[in-house]
Amino acid sequence: MPTDDSGRQGTRTPPLPDEGDVVARASAGDRNAFARLMEHYQSACYGLAWRLLGDAEMAADATQDAFVHAYDAIGRFRGGVFRSWILRITANASYDMLRRTQRRPTSPLPGPEEGQPELPDAGAPNPVAEAVRAELYRHLDVALQRLPDDQRTAVVLCDVYGMDYNEVAAATDSALGTVKSRIHRGRLRLRELLADHRELFER
């Protein structure tokens, strides 16, 4: 299944140049270092929350909850990719809110690490290709909104944010087999929903 990461890896938030040192200082209790990390990854976390929840206010609340939890937990951070760690916390906060409200998205979903849908680049060398790509994303976002909440969450975390099955299971507090089933059924349903627009995904 094509994902929003296809052809636009530049939208991913890169690590800080000195991220290892900043994380170490934050883990040791340096509030300024923690604030720097949260400021750097705020857009990525908010974009994920909005994509999962489809509501700006709920996404802001979930992001805030995630940062509070991250502050409480960072002293126990034991290495690895910090971006994945903070995104897992954000996904967990969003999923908890989703389960509490059982509210389906009502607004267009943003790009994977943006606070608003990506628009075609007016300065792109191939505006026709950019327009086709924007149309592809629009159909994909509409199709994602039609998935059940649990399937959409699992597919977004796995196929858009690159989490493996174990990470998705941890973020959604679900059994590994359940996650695999949700992703499999979600992908199949997306193929059905996008069948009439298959030519866009085959370019």
Q: pLDDT tens per residue, the chain (203 residues)?
A: 433 333 333 357 899 999 999 999 999 999 999 999 999 999 999 989 988 888 889 999 999 999 999 999 999 998 888 998 999 999 999 988 888 876 555 455 555 555 444 444 445 455 555 555 566 667 777 888 889 989 998 998 898 888 899 988 888 889 999 999 999 999 999 999 888 766 555 55
pLDDT of residue 113: 53
2 located within any domain: no
pLDDT of residue 163: 86
97 located within any domain: yes
167 located within any domain: yes
DSSP 6: T
> Coil, helix or strand for 101?
helix
20 located within any domain: yes
Q: CA nearest 165: which of 149, 182, 179?
A: 179
pLDDT of residue 111: 53
pLDDT of residue 112: 53
**Residues 112/48, Cβ–Cβ less than 8 Å:** yes
Provide the residue range defining the domain that includes 52: 9-201
Give the containing element (helix H, strand E) for 185: helix 176-193
Can you read off the two tokens belonging to residue 134? 């924007």
Exposure of 53 by Cβ count < 10 A (0-12 exposed, 13-18 middle, 19+ buried)?
A: buried
4 located within any domain: no
CB atoms within 10 A of CB 86: 25
Number of domains the chain contains: 1
**Residues 69/89, Cβ–Cβ less than 8 Å:** yes
Q: Which letter, b or e, does each residue of 57-67 get, where b requires 16 or more Cβ atoms within 10 Å of its Cβ?
A: ebbebbbebbb
Residues 6+ apart with CB under 8 A from 74: 23, 26, 27, 34
Q: CA nearest 59: which of 73, 74, 76, 42?
A: 42
pLDDT of residue 198: 64
1 located within any domain: no
153 located within any domain: yes
CATH code for the domain of 25: 1.10.1740.10
**Residues 54/98, Cβ–Cβ less than 8 Å:** no
- pTM for the predicted model, two decimal places: 0.71
Q: Please state the separation of Cα 168 from the chain's center in Å.
A: 11
Say how far apart CA 81 and CA 173 lie, in whole Å.
20
pLDDT of residue 135: 63
**Residues 145/105, Cβ–Cβ less than 8 Å:** yes
Q: DSSP alpha helices (H): ranges in 28-126? A: 31-53, 56-73, 82-101
